[in-house]
Amino acid sequence: MSSSNFSSATSQIIRVGGCTETDLTPISFWEFRRLISYGELDGLIIAAAARSDFAKQVVQICKLYQIPNVGVLSTQGIYWLNMYKIFVPYLESDITEKCNLNCAGCCHFANFSVAEDFYPIENFRRDMSRIAQTCDVLEFHLLGGEPFTLKNLDEYLIVARQCFPKIRLVLVTNGTLIPTLPQKILDALRGNRFELYISLYPPTAKMLNKIEARLKENGIPYKIERIVKSFEAQMTLNNGHNPAKTVARCRCGSGRSIRNGKIYKCPIDAAAYKFAAKFNIKSFSQPTGIDIYAPNFSSMIERLDNPVELCYWCAEDYRKIPWQPTNNPRLEDWFADPDELKNFL
Ligand code: SF4
Ligand code: SF4
């Protein structure tokens, strides 16, 4: 779309943010507010990371002023929003809870999945189709557990690309199963234009040459994250803190997590039911998933912009625990201050 597609003589395409990938003149947030309140704006391109709150804030203001042409600049180009849809810039999904590494303190609680627990492909297909119809999503990540433990992962990749033909799709993995992956999974990654984010755990680092060779052979783009030497244990029983501070620290931002027909504020909230069951914590927070099929889904999802009940269980400060695999997960692996547990349970 170019500026000539816009409807009035005052149309402008203006870039808010610091990205330098276009030759449009950037403006500050305050200049944007001035132009919009004077009615001098009917088009806008936002340059901001999908997961940041910034793009969401700007889109909310544009909806309020009924600005018709709003695009978001990403590595895929400019994504023009449908202003009647719900803006969910970043979405992720744990498609399986099974993992082959079992790290102590895993914040997706993958290290005590007793049976293979996964997002059934039929539910995934139905939910993705609903999200594509109702929401503008800029970036979607599939993760787990370890997604490569799913034998039919190729079906999830195909569904995701069919529902979101234009956006950035990422699969997050610990990488250790890549050297032995069936060819059909590698073909589906490449064919559906997925990028891989590889979390560099110590076992991953040991086999990195083999992993990179296999991905290069198959033309699959990937990014190696920083080596993971420790995890952040962040739960607390002390609910006297300000949950807005914990949300700012945890950097979940505008990211949302989808699982079996519901959208959650973060992956921890989506999986926390397992934690309560495993350690028999009767008073644990109730998950705050928003039903994506509810008639008032679009207004309900705004609740997730505020802290949810589980945010009171996240401490303002965390404790670093060294990375290690475990067959014996302990409650204190998740707690910022294990002394809090002395009189608990
Ligand atoms: S590799 Fe990731 S998902 Fe698997 S147990 Fe470790 S932290 Fe959890
Ligand atoms: S529960 Fe709240 S504070 Fe904790 S990780 Fe999720 S969003 Fe962040």
Q: Give the tens place of pLDDT for each residue, 14-41.
A: 565 544 455 667 788 888 899 999 988 8
Q: 272 or 345: which carries more pLDDT confidence?
A: 272
315, two tokens: 């401490």
3 state DSSP class of 270: helix
Please tell me the distance from the alpha carbon of residue 168 to that of residue 164, in angstroms, as a whole number: 9
pLDDT of residue 6: 34
Centre of ligand 1 to C-alpha 173, Å, is 9
pLDDT higher than 60, residue 10: no
Q: Indicate the domain borders of the chain.
A: 3-80, 86-343
Please tell me the distance from the alpha carbon of residue 138 to that of residue 167, in angstroms, as a whole number: 6
Ligand 2: residues with CB < 6 A are 246-247, 250, 252, 265-266, 268-269, 307, 310-311, 314
Ligand 1: residues with CB < 6 A are 99, 101-103, 106, 108, 110-111, 144-146, 174, 201
Share of the chain above pLDDT 90, in %: 61
3 state DSSP class of 199: strand
Probe residue for ligand 2, chosen from 242, 266, 284 as the CB with the greatest number of ligand atoms within 8 Å:
266
pLDDT of residue 344: 73
Torsion of CA 148, 151, 155, 156, to 10 degrees: -40
Probe residue for ligand 2, chosen from 242, 252, 284, 313 as the CB with the greatest number of ligand atoms within 8 Å:
252
CB contact at 8 A, 338 and 238: no
Q: What is the CA radius of gyration of the chain?
A: 21
Q: Does domain 86-343 have CATH number 3.30.70?
A: no
40: number of Cβ within 10 Å: 12
Centre of ligand 1 to C-alpha 248, Å, is 23
pLDDT higher than 50, residue 287: yes
Please tell me the distance from the alpha carbon of residue 321 to that of residue 48, in angstroms, as a whole number: 33
pLDDT of residue 223: 97
Average pLDDT over the chain, rounded to an integer: 88
Centre of ligand 1 to C-alpha 98, Å, is 9
Probe residue for ligand 1, chosen from 101, 143, 148, 201 as the CB with the greatest number of ligand atoms within 8 Å:
101
pLDDT of residue 15: 60
Q: 111 or 157: which carries more pLDDT confidence?
A: 157
Confidence of residue 5 (pLDDT cuts 50, 70, 90): very low
pLDDT of residue 192: 98
For residues 249-263, average pLDDT: 89
